[in-house]
Amino acid sequence: MNFHNTLIKWYLQNKRDLPWRKTADPYQIWLSEIMLQQTRVAQGMPYFFAFTEEFPTVFDLANASEEQVLKLWQGLGYYSRARNLHKTAKYVAEDLNGSFPPSYKELLNLKGVGEYTAAAIASFSYNEAVPVVDGNVFRVLSRYFDIESDIAIPVTKKEFTKLAYELMPKDNPAIFNQAIMEFGALQCVPKSPNCPACVFNDSCLALQKKKVDSLPVKSKKVKVTNRFFNYLVLEDILGNTIVQKRTAKGIWHNLYEFPLFESSEIIDFNSISEIVQNDMFSSYTILGIEECSEATVIHKLSHQHLHIQFWKIKINKVLENGIDLKTLKSFPFPIVLYNFIEKQEINC
């Protein structure tokens, strides 16, 4: 029995029941693929249901405001995906009359759609014979065929794409793509795969050569930057506060936050007191300053570790455009800030 037959047989017996596998609708498949970029299925599933309920068609998504989209996306991370999702929905609805491009090459022109996502939509919606190549596929093929090419190098992706295409049954590329991704997600996992139970244990070269743990080869490491955020939570005599939109490029673009002072290291009460009274809020009469959490919150992103402190600053006046706690929760925030608000630590 050849590779793809064995793989597809395994898939049909072991596949998960996922909602986006029950449709060929390019809108729903596009939604799911964008959401699952660098995101676990279990984490992305509730968001898929929320988006398809709130925005059942690409026109509904296009007609929403960016803030509505960001709010519904809140907690999923990598917010540029949500902004690109909204822009692409507008383009498809307004320029393409609601119809997604019907081919891999045309799909690549959509904002936020790369080679992997375009291949997924093209094969799942239009049955185009284009292989998907992601971390799961790299892992399965590198182990089975004992390929030591460095997957951090762009040319390696071409090598794996060519191999996957050769293995793919051209009359049913969708099921092959689903199968190889599922096999990597459930069976050929990164750490401690259950090789004795694997359907390929008699033909996997990495298993025969005791190289399973060393494949795939990936040399490039992401450099992690440490940043130190001090959020200044103003509270006026009515208990209201203020927030601002992050308009600069970078993390959390167009999400909301409290006034921020970014320092080069963790700072103490005396330092923040001087910054508040002599610089950022010198026009206010400060009644008191206190730290809102016992320990610094460390929020880890793929390339940055954020060390976050929340400071409550009470002032002796009514804030112009002050926001109460209930209204505050309606704004799209980074999840670490929303969790702070949700716990009502704003009233620390």
Q: Which of 33, 128, 182, 235 is catalytic?
A: 33
263 token code pair? 């320092």
What's the Cα-to-Cα distance from 341 to each of 8, 15, 27, 93, rounded to whole Å? 47, 39, 34, 36
Q: Is the dihedral of CA 348, 240, 232, 256 positive or negative?
A: positive
> Are the C-beta atoms of 313 and 337 separated by less than 8 Å?
no
What are phi and psi for residue 21, nearest 5 degrees?
A: -85, -5
Encode 270-287: b = buried (16+ Cβ within 10 Å), e = exposed.
eebeebbeeebbeebeee
* DSSP annotation string for 261-286: EEESS---HHHHHHHIIIIITTTS-E
Nearest to 37 by CA among 81, 74, 72, 69: 81
Residues in the chain, how many? 348
**Is 66 assigned a catalytic role?**
no
User: To which H or E segment does residue 223 belong?
Assistant: none
The whole-angstrom separation of Cα 142 and Cα 149 is 8
The whole-angstrom separation of Cα 219 and Cα 152 is 6
> Are the C-beta atoms of 105 and 99 separated by less than 8 Å?
no
Residue 158 carries which side chain, given as an amino acid letter? K
Helix (H, G, I), strand (E, B) or coil at 126: helix
> Are the C-beta atoms of 180 and 136 separated by less than 8 Å?
yes
Contacts 24+ apart (CB under 8 A), 94-100: 94/62, 98/57, 98/58, 98/59, 100/26, 100/27, 100/30, 100/58, 100/125
Q: Could you list the active site residues?
A: 33
